[in-house]
Structure 1
Amino acid sequence: MDEDSLYTRADDLWFSDGTLVIRAETTIFRVTKSILAARSNVFKDMLAFPQGEGREAETIEGIPTVYLHDSAADVEVFLRAIFDSSYFMPAPRPVDIDVVLGILRLSHKYDVSYLLHRALEHLDVPFYFSSMETFLDSDSDHFIYRLDTGCLLRTIEAAKEVGALWLLPILYVRACQEDPADLTAAMASDTNGDAQKCVNGCFIFSREYSASLQFLANSTVVGCETPDSCTHARFVALVVYFKAIAQGDGLDPFKPWNWDYISRRGMCDGCLTFYKESREETLQNLWGRLPSIFDLPSWEELLALKTAAMSEASS
């Protein structure tokens, strides 16, 4: 059978002077062996050995061929990042999440340290924060925040695959902010338990959301200047809270509370300060427990892991 009918060429990655064909699924790429070996330690070692002779040596159009057990989509973005220096630019340049994940997986697998470091930096921007304050102040319009449930679960899986555990607490938080129905539906095809873990996280966060607003039940604050007005303001806030629960919007304990709204309803400055501090204390406690909620090492251990991995990837 004609080879052209068996395989699909990746035209932008089919170089006429290429000395190696890479096959992934039914897609073939013709690239320069020396450049690939210079970028990847795994390919350097792999190509240093003879590829066999006779029937053992696979060739396409007479060119030595290597078959990779990776998806064609991942191999394409990986090779494109190697052979086109403008394709995968450093963060914070916007880039498609599946491009990041494909390069992340294969740069880790084939030991291309500079691409691994770049991919991790792209994910660090939206998914790693050194404190709760930086997390709450983060740019909610960042392009990666617009990921759907499936993308978030794929990102969690890829982060686990390459050992980037420090990304997981916020990834799980983001996934738990998705529609629980979408997470439940994802459980049908979930083979590693991540969707189930997120569903469990939704229930935990629902309880934590209530705990973060426990201040609304505190009817006496020392130094309250206007008890009747403050009681009314707390009542109005409770109505807002129950409406959020009814609308399915009560699963995110980190969602900013509208203090201006309460203040305009007549709450005095003393009560407002007390309630802000009470909620801050509750959220700080939750932040400290985030890793353990998702069966991860402590924040300190995750930071040490991140520091070591990023240092190794940049060397």
Structure 2
Amino acid sequence: MKRDEEFWSDDGTVILVARDVEFRVYSGVLAIHSPVFRELFSNEHPSRTVSINGKDDVPCPVVTVTDSPEDLRHILRVYMPRSHASIFSAREPSFAVVSASVRLGKKYKMNPLYEQSLDFLKHYYPSELDRWTDLRAWAPDGWPINRAIGVINLARLSGELSLLPVAVMSCTRLSDIARGFTREDGSQETLAPDDLDVCFKAKTELRKASMRVLFDTLAPTAAPECKAPATCSDVIRAALLGLHSRLDDLLDNDPFFPYTTYVKIEDGKFGVCDACLAMLEDRCWRGRQKLWDRLPEVLRINVPGWGEAESAE
């Protein structure tokens, strides 16, 4: 056994043992925030004599937990910070911090920590299209994209299935998805076989669906109000035929990119009249929204309630 360098307080009232690391901390603080810890500390445990405030031979309970030292350390940093905190410094947590907060927050019923961590994930793996298009990033700042594997696992653990569509969509961009990634404690984070199968199949289905939206958007027909339908139709047709030069981008980009990502625009103009431009924008928006509402179906996953609010609106 070795003492943790960060969390070993000479006046701590409990020794927590996680694998081969001992943490001497304050049982009362943890008991306030966790009914599970409170009950755990009320039980009988082996004790060790320690010194507290100059008194020797004070019995200190030794409580063994099944968590990794790395995960436990993240939780202790929340409730027993070792440095001065500032409300003016925004902190972007790592995946390891968020993952530990969700898993241990659920296990020990630390509800505020658990809920705040899920809210963080919901911000970056949203259930609304406009929030996703505002992000324009596949992961939170500083997170490798393969952490979406862990987000899928956290979604399954927590039951927050609304996290799944964007997380699965992110995983379709991974070339070594089966390998997973190495966690802080050296263990490997991988997908369950069923979720791995979902991600493999989702890549093709998502590409097909997004290409269909793009082709429908660029269907070479003019708007009913168009004053030069032949000219505008030819411009749209040329844009459609020109997609072959952007094939790699079409297959690898965000499936919810607008059509303007792939067509040639000169001097900020597409080359069609205002009526046809409005028609194209409407087609693009409606097509992407419809695909977003169908995203769980396209990915072949079950997400109750997905798209209902957007469809009603």
Q: Deviations over 1:212-267 (max 9, x none)?
A: 11232333543333445434432443355333333564453211332794473422
State the distance in 2 between where 1:39 and 1:302 align.
Answer: 36
TM-score (norm 1): 0.78
Aligned ranges for residues 97-116 of structure 1 at < 5 Å?
97-116=95-114
Report matched runs for 1:1-315 at 5 Å.
7-51=1-45, 57=46, 59=48, 63-84=60-81, 93-129=91-127, 131-136=128-133, 138-140=134-136, 144=140, 147-176=143-172, 178-179=173-174, 181-183=175-177, 186=180, 189-213=190-214, 214-238=216-240, 241-247=243-249, 249-250=251-252, 252-258=254-260, 261-262=264-265, 264-292=269-297, 293-299=299-305
Give the % identical residues: 23
Residues 113/215 of structure 1: CA separation in 2 closer, same or farther (3 Å cut): closer
Partners of 1:301 and 1:283 in 2: CA distance: 12
Amino acid at match of 2:166: I
Q: Which amino acid aligns with 1:222?
A: P
The CA distance in 2 between the partners of 1:169 and 1:115, in whole Å, is 24
SS at match of 1:182: coil
> Which consecutive residues of structure 1, in runs of 5 or more, have no partner in the other structure?
1-6, 52-56, 304-315
TM-score scaled by structure 2?
0.78
Instruction: Flag the 1:162–1:101 CA change in 2: closer, same or farther, 3 A.
Output: same
More strand by proportion, 1 or 2? 2
Deviates more, 1:228-237 or 1:271-280: 228-237
Q: 1:95: Cα distance to partner?
A: 1.6
1:276 shift after superposition: 1.8
Where does structure 2 lack aligned partners over 5 or more consecutive residues?
A: 51-58, 182-188
- What is the rounded CA distance, in whole Å, between the counterparts of 1:277 and 1:106 in structure 2? 46
Q: 1:244 to 1:75 in 2, by over 3 A?
A: farther
Check whether the contact 2:151–2:163 (CA below 8 A) recurs between aligned residues.
Answer: no
Amino acid at match of 2:19: E
* Higher helix residue share: 1
Amino acid at match of 1:107: G
Identify the structure with bigger relative contact order (alpha carbons < 8 Å, sequence gap 6+): 1
| Residues 36 and 44, structure 1, Cα contact 8 Å, conserved in 2 | yes
Compared CA separation, residues 246 and 125, structure 1 to 2 (3 A): closer
**RMSD (CA atoms):** 3.4
